[in-house]
Amino acid sequence: MTVDLKKSLAFIFMSVIILVTLVAGYIPSYAQDASTVTPVPGNLDNYVDPVTVKVHELQAQGMSNDEILQTLDKMGMGWYPPTGATWIGQQPTATELKSLPTLEYPF
């Protein structure tokens, strides 16, 4: 290879690297948008999950466990009274429910 060809290839290579570096700043990030993230409370000492809050509200209204389970199911929430397990969305399997530890707050 001649010196001019080597210089031309080096120039093209560096131009491509610079172009890619400049364009990379304009490519949208696939990271989660901060506005869609649910903020975590700063002080978790007194945190109670939303399902437990709802369970306490329904118990205060005098509802039985079966009525509470039906109401929570309509809202896409779940509660397993023997262990205190709560969830939002997909319900754990029967095997998972039996193996879940009892609810204990770390604070």
Strand partners, 79: 86
Q: Torsions phi, psi of 80, nearest 5? A: -115, 100
Of the candidate ranges 15-19, 32-36, 84-88, the one whose mean pLDDT is the lowest: 32-36
| Per-residue pLDDT tens digits for 27-62 | 555 555 555 556 665 666 777 889 999 999 999 999
Which string of DSSP letters, residue by residue, matches 47-81?
A: ---HHHHHHHHHHHTT--HHHHHHHHHHTTEEEET
Say which residue, 11 or 106, is predicted with more confidence: 11
- Answer whether 51's CB lies under 8 Å from 78's CB: yes
All structural domains of the chain with their residue ranges: 46-99
pTM, entire model: 0.49
Element (H, E) at 4: helix 3-24
